[in-house]
Amino acid sequence: MSVDVHQHLWTPSLVDALRRRTRPPYLDGWTLILDGEPPYEADPADHDVEIRRKRNAHLDLALVSLSSPLGIEHLQPEEAWPLIDAYHADARALPAPFGAWAAAPVTDPDPVRLSHALDQGLAGLQLPATALGDARGLALAAPLLDVLEERGLPLFVHPGPAAAAGGPAWWAAVVPYVQQMHAAWYAFEAFGRARHPRLKVCFALLAGLAPLHRERQLSRGATGRGLVDPDLFLETSSYGPRAADAVIRELGIDVLVAGSDQPYAESAWPDPGDPAQRAVDHAVRVANPGRLLSRKESHQ
């Protein structure tokens, strides 16, 4: 089963809910207004379910999620929940090949509401890296992570809001997003894994290439030389063979999963028709996502 674990799709209920708002984040027609960023002109075709379904006809499963850079998860509960409920309502009804990650406000980590969403067949939970980059953030999210661990379902860590700094259009994706993911990777290792020993976690965009700093980490007193956590996965969005190869050299192939970040990017993974890449492609698109998404019941 060929899987893409990282896509975004603004469903009709979410679009309507964003258009009803009068302060960021909100939509004015198809213009997205965020705090600290210039208006973004979205293409309606990118969020047309039928167009996207045809675009993904080669996949058996494409997991969509709430766009965490919008900052919805960081809103106060009375603002966040209507948007998240609208997203969940449509996400559960998406046609094949789509599935969806659940969402939750980090300002109201409600395990009961998360359990209800997961009962509807959602694949796991996405949270923004901006909420998981230190011990305090992980402690606040712990009730949600406990639910996932008990059910054997994964956490997907995705970049959160990134205020524009007056740079070029690519700045947010290359600088703050990468920094956020780097912090979340090391925070989970330092503070999260001991609290959640059986939790499966998938980090977007190769965790900001955080694993490549392992030599420096070890030189500064970290332990665990040569150890790989088999339940920490990295997805490949916006990276190609060179970055992926470096991560494979550090962690092995078994923890990489394919993600495209549609509609904001397309998969840069090598052509699956290349015979030299066939085994690697099967691992990243089929075997490893299967292990990430399979239910692994906790024995706590």
DSSP code of residue 262 = B
pLDDT digits (tens, 9 = 90+) for 109-154: 999 999 999 999 999 999 999 999 999 999 999 999 999 999 999 9
Q: Is 3 helix (H, G, I), strand (E, B) or coil?
A: strand
Over 50: is that where the pLDDT of 241 sits? yes
Q: Which of 238, 228, 288, 229 is nearest to 263 (CA)?
A: 238
pTM of the complete model: 0.94
What is the structure's pLDDT at 167?
Answer: 79
Other Cβ atoms closer than 10 A to 207: 27
73 near 131, Cβ under 8 Å? yes
Say which residue the tokens 């979205």 belong to.
42
What is the structure's pLDDT at 300?
Answer: 43
| Measured CA distances, 235 to 40, 96, 181, 268, 276 (Å) | 25, 21, 12, 12, 21
Pairing of strands 40-41, 31-33: antiparallel
Over 70: is that where the pLDDT of 17 sits? yes
Q: Give the separation between CA 292 and CA 232, rounded to whole angstroms.
A: 9
Q: Give the separation between CA 101 and CA 125, rounded to whole angstroms.
A: 5
Other Cβ atoms closer than 10 A to 79: 16
Interval 21-42 mean pLDDT: 93
CA 163 to chain CA centroid, nearest Å: 19
What is the structure's pLDDT at 211?
Answer: 94
pLDDT digits (tens, 9 = 90+) for 260-282: 999 998 876 655 566 767 888 89
What is the structure's pLDDT at 299?
Answer: 42
Give me the phi and psi of 224, to 5 degrees please. Answer: 95, 30
H or E element at residue 233: strand 232-235
Mean pLDDT computed over every residue of the chain: 92
What is the structure's pLDDT at 273?
Answer: 62
pLDDT digits (tens, 9 = 90+) for 56-83: 999 999 999 999 999 999 999 999 999 9
| Residue 38 pLDDT class (50, 70, 90 cuts) | confident
Interval 91-107 mean pLDDT: 96
Q: Give the separation between CA 133 and CA 5, rounded to whole angstroms.
A: 22
Pairing of strands 201-203, 232-235: parallel
What is the structure's pLDDT at 222?
Answer: 82
Q: Give the separation between CA 234 and CA 192, rounded to whole angstroms.
A: 16
What is the structure's pLDDT at 35?
Answer: 86
Q: Give the separation between CA 96 and CA 268, rounded to whole angstroms.
A: 23
What is the structure's pLDDT at 188?
Answer: 98
Say which residue the tokens 């409600």 belong to.
110
Query: Three-state SS string across 6-34, please?
Result: EEECCCHHHHHHHHCCCCCCEEECCEEEC
214 near 250, Cβ under 8 Å? yes
DSSP per residue over 76-133, as a string?
-HHHHHHHHHHHHHHHTTPPTTEEE-B---TTS--HHHHHHHHHTT---EEEEGGGSS
pLDDT digits (tens, 9 = 90+) for 177-223: 999 999 999 999 999 999 999 999 999 999 999 999 988 888 888 87
